[in-house]
A and B are shown apart, each in its own frame.
Chain A
Amino acid sequence: MSVRVGIVSFAHVHSPAYAAVLKDLDAAHSVGITDEDATRGTEAAERFGVRFFDSADALFEETDALVVCSENSKHARDVVPALKASVHVLCEKPISTTVEDAKAMIRASEASGSQLRMAFPVRYLPSVVRARELVRGGALGRVLAVSGTNYGQMPGGWFLDPELAGGGAGMDHTVHLADVLRWILDVEVKSVYAEVDSFFGAGGTDDAAILTLELEGGPVADGTFPTIDPSWSRGDGYPTWGDVTLRIAGTSGVLDLDPFAQPLRIFDHETGAPSWTYTGEDMNALMLSDFLRGVAEGKPSGASGLDDLRTLEVVLAAYRSGEDYEPKNVERTP
């Protein structure tokens, strides 16, 4: 049985990739797209050969599940009515720009029984899954520290608007690493120290940061100190979009995780610019398949709304630390 699925908003840069995967998956029946920007939505609908819906409610009626790709601050506005209309939702990260919005989304899911899952595709990459098994199996002994990067190019557009995005690189990229850290090590983040600034052209919002985390709990991660570098430090001259890397140092070994390090290196005679093309598994296909399976079977897996609320709280603590250069406790919402 295929799940009837739609997409709400093409604001986020990831939405075309999701639409392309959904068109290909046997488990999905792509119904349509709605977008408050009708021009953008109509163009996307034409491109992917699906219907454009000018009302979200109309799309809810014809779908079992939705992928929400609106701007970060609009997630609650788009997700809560869908959940209330008994439509399951996979929401782009970060869950929202405020704890209140995130809680409203989680409550709506609990009240309606509709699934709220978060788009953390990195969890699905085979090397990440294997790293988790190795670390939890004790291959590194006790984990002393983790040094993580999630680099990218400055995305521009609404990502630079603090109202819509809730922050810059710190908001956009920290959550991926915070999620993977929580998932691999089975820990919560207790406090954060962060140096935050702007160097790479993001203007009024942050495009560079180094976060140092203090963790709570976890049998393999007692006293572990991770750092996260979410900077948009890759420019146009970089041969690929960026990376996600984790270097995990333990008492009996070091694990270097670089799941996108499977490139074809191409040196184009015309442009003179090198480019790397990734040849590994499509993490979006793995994530969307799992979401659809969860919907079909009524057994959700992957990252939950609460998982992403926990990563949002880390980001908010980092921004507070960045203001006065003191470590800040992560205020964990009950």
Chain B
Amino acid sequence: MKVGLVGAGFMGRVHLDAYAAIPEVDVAGVADASIEAAVAGAELVGTRPYASYEELVAAEDIEVVDICLPTPFHRDLALRAADEGRHVILEKPIARTMGDAQEILEAFSGDGPRLFVGHVARFFPEYAGIKEKIDAGELGMVGVVRTSRRSPILLGWNDWYADWRASGGVLVDLLIHDFDFLRWALGKVRRVYARGVLGREYNRLDYALITLRFESGAIAHVEGHWGYPGPFNYSIEVAGSSALLTVDSTEPTSLELVGEPPVSGEVPDLASGKSPYEKQLEHFIQCIEFGEEPVGRAQDACEALRISLAATESVLTGEPVTLGGWS
């Protein structure tokens, strides 16, 4: 399958590394407005660099467009690719606004090209394991869930992560992982109450605490920190009526190397056979090939964004936000 990747920044390079390990994928080209970034990205998989999407699709026969652009650029390129009949793999969040997200969803609603949104937490073995345990009833009725995700803030193109209007800050760009996972594991969210600094008051720092109430009755407390002055880490605790489950990424894993500077950014080293990104992208490619439904549908990505935006609204108004109109 011929994939063209657009946006060879941090996440673009993570995807390229993953594609290099997937034999079914031929990365036919890498496009980036910065030709240096395109060249560096293309080298990772031994392919050709392009200075724009237009040049990429003019020169190569691209079946799947992998979009790793800053969030505000998702809509235009996704709609264009859909128009051209190309499948799209879109890095999360699906969009910055519900309007954009719904337009994207609409563009892929027919029988033609398909859309996949990269909510990679579903492919982390611990998170997949938690979901399995909950589904199997091993924790009993889930009562209180606590999650934490803390990361140094990334330095992206034009420092767009630090621009709250562009990235949506920690609520939209980082915690959408937890919102998507929690919705996957616990079902629909009824109510959102959040406090945070919205990445506006401070330079390159965002922090939020969110309470979610699910239709099931479960309560979740979500912590997010951008600009955390240590290495990226996450944790989750699920307290059920019959068992308590905890995961903490700061605890030793199967393979620990001491002596390197700590890895910063959002991608921890896991001692699994395949990286979560590799599993995710392989899954999407297989869904295209065999016409299967993905573990996380584009609609789910839309609903995760709805939670992020409800939390944002709650921070702005100081009031809880009740969600309705669920599909």
Q: Which residues of A contact B (CB under 8 A)?
A: 144-145, 147, 149, 193, 195, 197, 199-201, 207-210, 212, 214, 225, 227, 229, 231, 233-235, 237-238, 247, 249, 251-254, 325-327
CB <8 Å contact, B143 and A147: no
Q: Does B52 contact A (CB under 8 A)?
A: no
Q: State whether B195 touches A200 (Cβ < 8 A).
A: no
Question: Which residues in A have their C-beta under 8 angstroms from that of B209?
Answer: 145, 147, 212, 225, 227
Are A231 and B143 interface neighbours, CB within 8 A?
yes
8 further interface pairs, Cβ-Cβ under 8 Å (given A144-B207, A193-B193, A214-B318): A147-B209, A147-B221, A193-B211, A199-B240, A208-B239, A227-B209, A227-B221, A325-B213
In the complex, which residues of chain B have a beta carbon less than 8 angstroms from the beta carbon of A147? 209, 221, 223
Given contacts A197-B219, A227-B221, contact A145 B195 (CB under 8 A): yes
Q: Are A229 and B225 in contact (CB under 8 A)?
A: no
Nearest-neighbor residue (CB-CB) of A228 within chain B: B221
Q: Is the CB of A197 within 8 A of B195?
A: no
For window 217-232 of chain B, which residues contact chain A by CB distance below 8 Å? 217-219, 221, 223, 225, 228-230
Choose from B143, B195, B219, B244 the contact partner of A237 (Cβ within 8 Å).
Answer: B244
Residues of chain B lying within 8 A (CB to CB) of residue A214: 318
Least Cβ–Cβ distance between A78 and chain B, in angstroms: 34
Nearest neighbor of A229 in chain B, beta-carbon distance: B221
- Chain B residues whose C-beta falls within 8 Å of the C-beta of A195 in the assembled complex: 191, 193, 211, 213, 219
> Hey, which chain A residues are within 8 Å of B144, CB to CB?
199, 208, 210, 229, 231, 233
Alpha-carbon separation in the docked complex, A262 to B215 (Å) = 38
Return the CB mask of B189-211 against A: 1 if under 8 Å, else 0: 00101011100001001010101
B229 touches A212 (CB 8 A): no
Minimum CB–CB distance from B188 to chain A (whole Å) comes to 15
The smallest beta-carbon distance between B241 and chain A, in angstroms, is 6
Chain B positions 165-191 with a Cβ under 8 Å from a chain A Cβ: 191
| Most B CB within 10 A of own CB, among A144, A209, A235, A326 | A144
Query: B150 — which chain A residues lie within 8 A by C-beta?
Result: 254
Contact A251-B143, Cβ < 8 Å, known A229-B221, A235-B244? no
A residues near B146, Cβ cutoff 8 Å: 149, 229
> Could you list 26 examples of A-B contacts with CB < 8 Å?
A147-B221, A147-B223, A195-B211, A197-B217, A199-B142, A208-B219, A210-B221, A212-B193, A212-B195, A212-B211, A225-B209, A227-B195, A227-B221, A229-B146, A231-B143, A231-B144, A233-B144, A233-B239, A233-B244, A237-B243, A249-B207, A251-B202, A253-B229, A325-B191, A326-B319, A327-B319
A191 to nearest B CB, angstroms?
Answer: 9
* Alpha-carbon distance A233/B18, docked complex (angstroms): 39
Say yes or no: B244 contacts A238, CB within 8 Å. yes
When distances are taken between beta carbons in the complex, the residues of chain A under 8 Å from B202 are 251
The verdict on A144 contacting B197 (CB below 8 Å), with A199-B144, A235-B243 known, is: yes
Which 7 residue pairs spanning A and B have beta carbons closest together? A199-B143, A233-B239, A225-B195, A210-B211, A195-B219, A144-B207, A210-B221
Name B residues whose Cβ lies closer than 8 Å to a Cβ of A.
Answer: 141-144, 146, 150, 191, 193, 195-197, 202, 205, 207, 209, 211, 213, 217-219, 221, 223, 225, 228-230, 239-244, 318-320
**A249 engages B241 (CB within 8 Å):** no
| Residues of chain B contacted by A209 (CB below 8 angstroms) | 219
Question: Given the complex of chains A and B, what is the CA–CA distance between A184 and B257 in angstroms?
Answer: 38
Chain B residues, CB < 8 A from A235: 242-244
Shortest distance in angstroms between B22's beta carbon and chain A's nearest beta carbon?
Answer: 38
Given A195-B219, A249-B225, is A227 in contact with B320 using a C-beta cutoff of 8 Å?
no
Give bound CA distance, A199 to B243, whole Å: 12
- Please give the distance in Å from B143's CB to the nearest CB on chain A: 3
Smallest distance from the beta carbon of A139 to chain B beta carbons, Å?
A: 12
Find B241's partner among A144, A201, A238 (CB 8 Å cutoff): A201
Contact B143 A325 (CB under 8 A): no
Distance in angstroms between the alpha carbons of A334 and B221 in the assembled complex: 33
Chain B residues whose CB sits within 8 angstroms of the CB of A193 once the complex forms:
193, 211, 320
A210→B225 CA distance, assembly (Å): 19
Query: In whole angstroms, what is the CA distance A175 to B318 when docked?
Result: 24
Residues of A within 8 A of B205 (CB): 251
Query: Taking CB as reference atom, which chain A residue is nearest B213?
Result: A195
Residues of B contacting A210 in the complex (Cβ-Cβ under 8 angstroms): 144, 211, 219, 221
CA distance A311 to B228 in the complex (A): 31
Contact A199 B191 (CB under 8 A): no
Chain A contacts for B213, CB-based, 8 A: 195, 325
Query: Could you tell me if A208 and B143 are in contact, using CB atoms closer than 8 angstroms?
Result: yes
CA distance A63 to B281 in the complex (A): 74
Q: Give Cα A237–Cα B241 distance, bound, in whole angstroms.
A: 12
A238 to B243, CA, bound (A): 9
The CA-CA distance from A210 to B212 in the complex, in Å, is 9
User: What's the least CB distance linking A149 to chain B, in Å?
Assistant: 8
With beta carbons under 8 angstroms apart, the residue of A200, A252, A254, A327 that contacts B143 is A200
Q: Least Cβ distance of A317 to chain B in Å? A: 14
Alpha-carbon distance between A208 and B193 when the two chains are bound, in angstroms: 17
* A301–B223 alpha-carbon span in the complex (Å): 35
Inter-chain contacts of B193 with A (CB < 8 A) = 193, 195, 212
A13 → chain B closest CB, angstroms: 21
- Chain A residues with CB under 8 Å of B219's CB are 195, 197, 208-210
Which residues of B have CB within 8 Å of A252?
Answer: 229
A208 to B142, CA, bound (A): 11
Contact status A200-B239, CB under 8 Å: yes
Q: What CA separation (Å) do A249 and B320 show in the bound complex?
A: 23
Q: Smallest Cβ distance from B218 to chain A, in angstroms? A: 8
What is the distance, in angstroms, from B207's C-beta to the closest C-beta of chain A? 5
Instruction: Give chain A nearest CB distance to B269 CB in angstroms.
Output: 22
Smallest CB separation, A288 vs chain B (Å): 32
A233-B320 contact, Cβ under 8 Å, with A144-B207, A249-B207? no
Q: In the assembled complex, which residues on chain B have CB atoms less than 8 Å from the CB atom of A201?
A: 241
When C-beta atoms are compared, the residue in chain A nearest to B223 turns out to be A147
Instruction: Give the residues in chain A near B240, CB-CB below 8 Å.
Output: 199
Q: CA separation between A38 and B319, bound complex, in Å?
A: 51
